[in-house]
Amino acid sequence: MSKRGWLLFAAMAVIWGIPYLLIKVALEGMTAPFIVFARTAIGAAVLLPVAMKRDLVRPALRHWRFIALFAALEIAGPWLLLGDAEQHMTSSLAGLLIAAVPFFVAIIMWRLGDKDAVSGTSLAGLFIGLAGVIAIVGLNVGEVNVWRMLEVVVVAFCYAVAPTLVLRRLEGVPPLAVITLSLTGVALLYIPIAAFSLPAHMPKANAAAAAVALGLVCTAAAFLLFFGLIAEVGPAKSSMITFVNPAVAVAGGVVFLGESLKAGVIVGFPLVMIGLVLSTLSKKGAPADAAEAEAVGPAQAPAAPVAGLAEPAAG
């Protein structure tokens, strides 16, 4: 990997590992729906001019139905659920539960006919990773409401389904157009919702800064950098940030928010990380196709239509 590739990789590992921390901080002064609106509006405001300058928006509008479905599965629903859940759990726990995305991807790809998605080493990784997720949820019952943890698991499932939709229905559509139209549509949808959930008081500076960072850094800049990373090193190597994001999420919560490591995280974290590595390896030991479909950002080129979009991408 080139020096530029390593720099982009390191930047993305951090940028898509800290949204959970930033959401937690933003929740100190804003409601979950308002955060979704702020993040999507800021992201759209930055990306829309770029996409329009490249004349990507108008052709993509022909596919508006599937883009709308993608936006619902990737942004509108998950970001609201994640914000709601993080009001009742640590950011590190949320970030670690999101690491279940690759395991859901493997199951979905297998159900769609890709038998290699859960064969051999990847199957072992799937079971180890799922055991880690079960340990995280089970050992945190009593300390964290189980329904809140299940909210994050639903988010992870949505993050796994959305890229599959891109692969099957939006192949060839410029990825920048897909994410730009998705952010714009969700921002417009959330205008009335945000209007009825305005903060009771002027948010503190740290909460406002966190919301701006979510939209500007973790959304707009993140996707532009991710597309650059894919162009530099390819989709397979780009997907490897999946291994780093959960570690960044846990470290960020512990270091910057003073979150303690509960038994569920201590037991489940290494299992999830081992499972991540094994489940995204093919028989030859290279990242499997399923890994390319789940990383954390949408497509990059017709030859490799998706590299996933799990923040998030992104929490």
Query: Are 310 and 101 in contact, with CB atoms under 8 Å apart?
Result: yes
Distance CA 187, CA 15 (A): 21
Mean per-residue pLDDT, 290-311: 36
pLDDT of residue 87: 95
pLDDT of residue 150: 93
Q: Which helix (H) or strand (E) holds 236?
A: helix 235-238
Cα dihedral 146, 102, 243, 151, rounded to 10, equals -20
Give the residue among 155, 104, 31 at the shortest CA–CA distance from 293. 104
Tokens of 47: 């990306």
Give the lowest-confidence range in 184-193, 237-246, 275-284.
Answer: 275-284
Tokens of 56: 């990507």
Tokens of 89: 């759990």
Let me know the angle formed at the C-alpha of 276 by 86 and 144, rounded to the nearest 5 degrees: 25
Q: Which helix (H) or strand (E) holds 153?
A: helix 146-169
Is residue 281 scored above 80 in pLDDT?
no
With a CB cutoff of 8 Å and minimum separation 6, the contacts of 191 are 37
SS percent in the chain: helix, strand, coil, step 5: 75, 5, 25
The structural domains of the chain, with segments of one domain joined by +, span 3-292
pLDDT of residue 245: 86
Is residue 137 scored above 50 in pLDDT?
yes
**Which range, 24-28, 122-126, 222-226, 264-268, has the best average confidence (pLDDT)?**
24-28
pLDDT of residue 283: 47
What does pTM read for this prediction? 0.85
Give the lowest-confidence range in 125-134, 177-186, 205-214.
Answer: 125-134
